[in-house]
Amino acid sequence: MKKLNTIVKIKSIATDNSIRLSEKVVAKAASANTFLTDVADVFMFITRIIKELFSGGFEFNEFFRQCFQIGYKTLPLISVTGIIMGLVLTIQSRPVLVDFGAVNALPGMVAVSLIREMGPVITALICAGKIGSGMGAELGSMKVTEQIDAMEVSSTNPVKFLVVTRVMAATLMIPLLILYADALGIIGSWAGANIKGDVPLVLFFSQAFSSIGFIDFLPAVIKSFFFGAVIGIVGCYKGYNAGRGTESVGIAANSAVVLASLLVIIVDVIAVQITDMLIS
């Protein structure tokens, strides 16, 4: 009788384990299916954006309005960010260069660091936080209040009017904001160099730009356009596909910032690898 009870217990334990294992397998399969579905939705969303972009009837008024919102309204934040980037980089680097007697290389080092890497990446991350979240929240609120559905009913193409204009505005304005941040970063670097020294502005700029080549400038500009496109697409996708509840607006804004920031870093890694292969 004891042996029979033991066998029954073993069989019940094995059954429970198999049920738990099957539940885990089903959960993982569902997660994989959800991920693949999201990837497919993103590619379909990008395809629709490209199709609407070249289908004629571009909304120039809305495009210029979005350029104003993305570019001009972001200038104060980018100004502070650019100056602080150059100032901090100079203050942190100057003591090391003084120890090696290479303080004259400070302007060139800061300029190359800002233009090639720090300026584009940090500015793009700031834009992902401000612009990406703004797009996600704005389109998400329009989705919740059924304004997008009303546009479809009234024979207005919401993708052409809302999405294409925002993506193109972000693709155009974010590279300009990055160049603006780079310029202010060099000015901030000059201010940092004059904290413990006396360097004329003309001499500092001359030393800075003499160290910058075409190969430093071109890859940074090209990847800046990709940063802008990624931020615009992610912000619009999260907002356009938000849920119906009011909490979906916050979820769309938060997920837009997280995903856009992650994709900016991934795009930067890919761009650095491509640039390295072309140079070498």
Q: Are residues 41 and 66 in the same domain?
A: no
Q: Are residues 107 and 68 in the same domain?
A: yes
- Average pLDDT, whole number, for the chain? 84
Crossing angle (nearest 10°) for helices 247-279 and 214-240: 160
- At 4, is the pLDDT very low, low, confident or very high (cuts 50, 70, 90)? very low
User: In terms of pLDDT, which residue wins out, 242 or 259?
Assistant: 259
Please write the tens of the pLDDT for every residue from 126-157. Answer: 999 999 989 988 988 888 888 888 887 887 78
**Would you say residue 274 has pLDDT above 80?**
yes
Taking Cα atoms as reference points, which of 27, 230, 248 lies closest to residue 140? 248
Q: Are residues 34 and 154 in the same domain?
A: no
Please write the tens of the pLDDT for every residue from 155-196. Answer: 778 888 889 999 999 999 999 999 999 999 999 999 988 887
Structurally, the chain folds into a number of domains equal to 2
Q: Which residues contact 154 (CB under 8 A, 6 or more apart)?
A: none
Please write the tens of the pLDDT for every residue from 40-67. Answer: 888 888 888 888 888 878 888 999 999 9
23-54 burial, b if ≥16 CB within 10 A, otherwise e?
A: eeeeeeeeeeeeeeeeeeeeeebeeebeebbe
**Would you say residue 226 has pLDDT above 60?**
yes
Report pLDDT for 24: 58
Q: Are residues 135 and 267 in the same domain?
A: yes
Residue type, 246: T
64-88 burial, b if ≥16 CB within 10 A, otherwise e?
A: eebbebbbeebeebbeebbbebbbe
Phi-psi region of 125 (alpha: psi -120 to 50; beta: other; left: phi over 0): alpha
Q: Are residues 92 and 228 in the same domain?
A: yes
User: Which domain range does residue 4 map to?
Assistant: 1-55
Q: Are residues 167 and 32 in the same domain?
A: no
As a whole number of Å, the CA-based R_g of the chain is: 26
Q: Are residues 49 and 157 in the same domain?
A: no
Q: Which residues contact 256 (CB under 8 A, 6 or more apart)?
A: 132, 133, 135, 136, 234, 235, 237, 238, 239
Q: Are residues 92 and 157 in the same domain?
A: yes
Report pLDDT for 150: 85
Q: Are residues 18 and 68 in the same domain?
A: no
Read off φ and ψ for residue 212, nearest 5 degrees.
-100, 130
**Would you say residue 33 has pLDDT above 70?**
no
> Average pLDDT for residues 197-220, to the nearest whole number?
85
Max alpha carbon distance in the chain (Å)? 98
pTM: 0.84
Report pLDDT for 233: 93
Q: Which residues contact 141 (CB under 8 A, 6 or more apart)?
A: 249
Q: Are residues 50 and 69 in the same domain?
A: no
Coil, helix or strand for 80?
helix
Distance CA 13, CA 201 (A): 78
Taking Cα atoms as reference points, which of 143, 116, 102, 118 lies closest to residue 242? 143
Q: Are residues 36 and 68 in the same domain?
A: no
Q: DSSP label at 54?
A: T
Taking Cα atoms as reference points, which of 251, 247, 235, 263 lies closest to residue 133? 235
Q: Are residues 14 and 112 in the same domain?
A: no
